[in-house]
Structure 1
Amino acid sequence: MRWSKPATPTTPVTPWPPHPPPGETELERAVRLEEEKEARRKSDVIDREIELERVEQRKHKNCTRVLLLGQAESGKSTMLKNFQLYFAPGAFHAEADAWRAVIHLNLVRSVNFILDLLPGGPSSLLFEASHPRHFSDKPLVDGGYLRHFRMRLSPLRQVELILVQRLSADDPSRAAANVEEAIPWYYGRASEVSIRGGSGWKALLRRKRNATQVGARPDDLDKARQILHACRQDIAELWEHADVQRGLEAEDVVLRDQSGFFLDEALRVASADYEPTPQDILRARLQTIGVEQHTISVERFGQPSHRWLFYDVGGAKGQRASWVPFFDDVDAILFLCPMSAFNEVLLEDRRMNRLLDSFNLWKTICMSRLLKGTTFILLLNKSDILQSKLEAGSYKDGPNDPDHVSEYLKRKFVAMCKHNSARERQLHVHVTCATDAIVVNNLRSSDYI
């Protein structure tokens, strides 16, 4: 016996726009028409968003999508700049004018940090009340000489304000905060300016610069450069002064190991005709809050153009929740661990060792089921700073040899990946210095990115 499928009741289709209800008053009709108009507007907005999403998906269909991960100051943004320099040099050099403002800010903040730190500075006076200072027993710096520097270099406070306001122009509420909320001196480092991801600060600087060139009034960036040029000799003398070096050493401050260090080249960087070199741009430090998206087109010999889509995310503890939405939409994870951070702590959590924090981050990422099919590339970064620390005898638990330390860390990270991954995954490990172009060349020539 053959059974027939029972008929499925059909749902009546409501016409749109709906027919006017019977007995509708003029007021009710006006309200109904306004509601229908608003509904159509919302529907059109949704349709446009869907279409834009489709266009974006088609645009990125042939992209290799790479997510840059790691704690703050692990070298993510530097590595990205290195990719841009190597594969898109034209676009990289076009941004040099914007990066000059960042480099000048890095230099000025280092100078102001020193003047605040040494005896008589605001940070020094604030901290002496509750903590014994190395300086209190035997002054290492001549007070009169420091007063001379503070007077001569006082205009750099204005330069810092100008640069921060310009870089934070898309978010004026943050400009003043970035100047006032300096990291306390006993953290051993100069404060940073932060830029929101996607703010387009480089394009903004270029637009304002071009608009100024058309008009007659001088640009505030030009004013900042003139002040910096006038102070360049005093900056160099401050940095080279033996008592200043002794004072920094007494406070365990090593500015040379910090990102955005340009004091060794102050005369060149502060000159009126200064143009940033590629190496200067790679060394420049600018903290990003949020997510930056960068597309880099690659032209390979004998092959059609290939594109990489990089997601550069903030690495501070409070920003790591923003990583997860990208986990299910990337082809590769580029994880950077700063090997030189074995004797450092997080700025946002002084109880957490930075190397231990990298271990914890790595374990969490390896355990993520969203990344089960994703290629992992581990960069044991800052090998140059690691070597300088080891040469100074900073590593107490074993041989002060870079190869020994990097090999130990490599075994540690590989073992953690195998133990915490749900299944065997592709993992590639490189010992790197993010400012070294050979690293990018090795990644480019590989088959996994």
Structure 2
Amino acid sequence: MVKLNDWPHLPTGETEEQRARAKKIRCVADIPIVPSPCSHHNPSDEIDEVLQRERKAKEKKRPARKVLLLGPSQSGKSTWLKNFQLLYAPKAFHAEIGAWRAVIHLNLTRAVNFIVDELGTPSTSVVSPTQRLQPEFPNVERLRIRLAPLRQVEISLSKCLSVDRKAMRRPMSVVEELSKSESINHISIRGGAVWKGLTKKASFNSTISGELQQTRSLLEACRDDIIILWSEPGLREHLIERGTPLPDSSVFFLDHAERIARKDYVPTDDDVLRARLETIGVEEHHITMEVGDAKQDWIFYDVEGSRGQRATWASYFDDVHAIVFIVSMSDFDQSDPHEPQVNRFVDSITLWRSVCQNKLISNIPMLLFLNKVDLLHTKLENGTYFADYVQDFSQANDAKSVTRYFKKLFMATHEKYSRKERSLHVHITCAIDTKSMSLVLKQVKDVITLAKLKNIDML
């Protein structure tokens, strides 16, 4: 008869140490632990282990947070997305630096070629129609010859970044003609996730690797002449007078040509944020959080903002947790790049109204970004009058007053045309200012996370 104080009885040949080791092995193998009637058993330990396994299983199956990025062309959606990745997935962001270098080189090269072409085209004010160069830039003819290799650099980079085998096989004349047809306002390539594998592809594809190495060498050889061209007195004013001012990103890269055109150039975070890419169609971006809510997946649908593509937006309205709508406040004096007769300010408010009144997204939280406040301030400071383009504006011609007007107008439109009462979060931003954007994006992340939780509760 076993006495009470002898319990538990250890079977012959089995020690406490052996039993603990067996328990550990079962835990590692994820085998349910069945307590032996002849062993010490702590119900609390078993419950903790079960809860831990369930929590890990839920984390693996945790659904991604889905966000729809909407707004007119060139409003800053891609820059907004790059800021989000830089803040919450910095390792993945910096892993793509090699591919961004090629994009930045293409941006710089197209800007230089555009300037050379503009200076070689007589304006309407020139008396002689046969005059090729403006007399105030006597050095341009020499620079044109010395910078001629950049034509080949632009073509090579365009082909490599397209990741299009058919484009790689096109006759040079065809590719060159396609390159010439793009304006300086579209110094970009087609966006998407495929081109970001360029660095990896280059290591396995000797053709791409060789072309990229050659473009870097040619760009470095032309570096001094690029600097001389950009330092020509009166050049920037001349382009403005002709109605062909350079985009802010082009000005930035030209200002930093001495650094960017070096063969050993490595892009900075600021360089990548300013690199121009044109979204074609709908791009799906998957970002896995590396900081904060680690391992949580986010999916961003970056939708092309051109007027001809907006009919396709509705198919992406379903099953998203929030909509981020981005407007460029500095484009009030510009026309739509695809439809010159349409003012971009009018187009922005018209598009915002249609999104607000869409019944498919009546329950989805909206986050409105009134972007490019820095460029708005510069434009107004340089003497452009907002009231010349927006007739009902009668306030002071400064960034504070214009920004207040934008915010009031867009909020009133949302209140009037939204089918149901819902939350609207408005932010005034400069997308290339990483410090201020980090603060804004943290708020955005919290709003979207809360919206997602509410959606789950409603199911």
Match of 2:196 among 193, 202, 215: 202
Could you tell me which of 278, 299, 302 is aligned with 1:309? 299
Contact 1:178 1:193 in 2 (8 A): no
How many angstroms does 1:142 deviate by? 4.4
Verify the 8 A CA contact 1:109 1:190 in the aligned structure 2: no
Following superposition, the deviation at residue 180 of structure 1 comes to: 2.1
Equivalent residue number for residue 238 of structure 2:
247
1:269-294: CA deviation from partner (whole Å, max 9, x where unpaired): 00111000000000000112122111
Q: 1:346 aligns with which of 303, 327, 336?
A: 336
1:224 to 191, 211, 215: 215
Are 1:156 and 2:150 matched, yes or no?
yes
d(CA) in 1 for partners of 2:85, 2:397: 34
Tell whether the 8 Å contact from 2:90 to 2:290 is kept in structure 1 after alignment. no
* Residue matched to 2:443: 445
For the pair 1:330 / 2:325, whether they are aligned, the reply is no
Q: For 1:283 and 1:217, how far apart are their aligned partners in 2?
A: 24
Cα pair 2:76 2:371 within 8 Å, conserved? yes
Match runs of 1:20-419 below 5 Å:
62-118=63-119, 121=120, 124=121, 132-133=124-125, 140-142=134-136, 144-170=138-164, 172-173=166-167, 179-181=176-178, 189-195=184-190, 197-198=192-193, 200-203=194-197, 205-211=198-204, 219-258=210-249, 261-298=252-289, 301=292, 305-397=295-387, 398-419=395-416
SS at match of 1:329: coil
Which secondary structure does the structure 1 equivalent of 2:447 belong to?
coil
Note the residue ranges of structure 2 that are not aligned, 5 or more in a row. 1-58, 388-394, 449-459
Give TM-score, length-normalised by structure 1: 0.77
Kept in 2, the 8 Å contact 1:182–1:191? The answer is: no
Structure 2 residue matching 1:343: 3-state secondary structure: coil
RMSD between aligned residues: 2.7
Q: Deviations over 1:336-356 (max 9, x none)?
A: 000000111111010111111
Q: 1:183 to 1:320 in 2, by over 3 A?
A: farther
**1:59 CA drift (Å):** 7.7
How far off its partner does 1:295 sit?
Answer: 1.9
Contact 2:289/2:298, CA 8 A, preserved across alignment: yes
Distance in 1, matches of 2:86 and 2:316, equals 25
Pair 134,211 (structure 1): closer, same or farther in 2 beyond 3 Å: same
What's the CA shift for 1:441?
2.8
- Which structure is larger by alpha-carbon Rg, 1 or 2? 2
TM-score (norm 2): 0.76
2:83, 2:273 within 8 Å by CA — same for their partners in 1?
yes
Query: Tell me, what secondary structure is at the counterpart of 2:367?
Result: strand
Letter in 2 for 1:445: Q
Instruction: For residues 156-190 of structure 1, give each alpha carbon's deviation from its aligned partner in whole angstroms, at most 9, with x where no partner exists.
Output: 001001100101122634977664245779x7x35
- Decide whether aligned partners of structure 1 residues 383 and 141 sit closer, same or farther in structure 2, where only a CA change above 3 A counts: farther
* Deviation larger for 60-69 or 231-240: 60-69
- For residues 183 and 367 of structure 1, what CA distance do their matches in structure 2 show? 40
SS in 1 for 2:107: helix
Return the offset for 1:257. 2.7
* Aligned residues with identical type, % of pairs: 43
Instruction: Name the CA distance, whole Å, in 1 between partners of 2:101 and 2:419.
Output: 46
Note the alpha carbon deviations across 1:385-419, whole angstroms, 9 max, x for none: 01110111212424221111111100000000111
Q: Number of matched residues?
A: 376
* Alignment deviations for residues 322-377 of structure 1 (CA, whole Å, 9 cap, x no partner): 21111112111100000000111111010111111110110110011110110100
Q: 1:277 to 1:81 in 2, by over 3 A?
A: same
Measure, in 2, the Cα distance between the counterparts of 1:425 and 1:135: 61
- Mind listing any 5+ residue stretches in structure 1 that lack a counterpart? 1-57
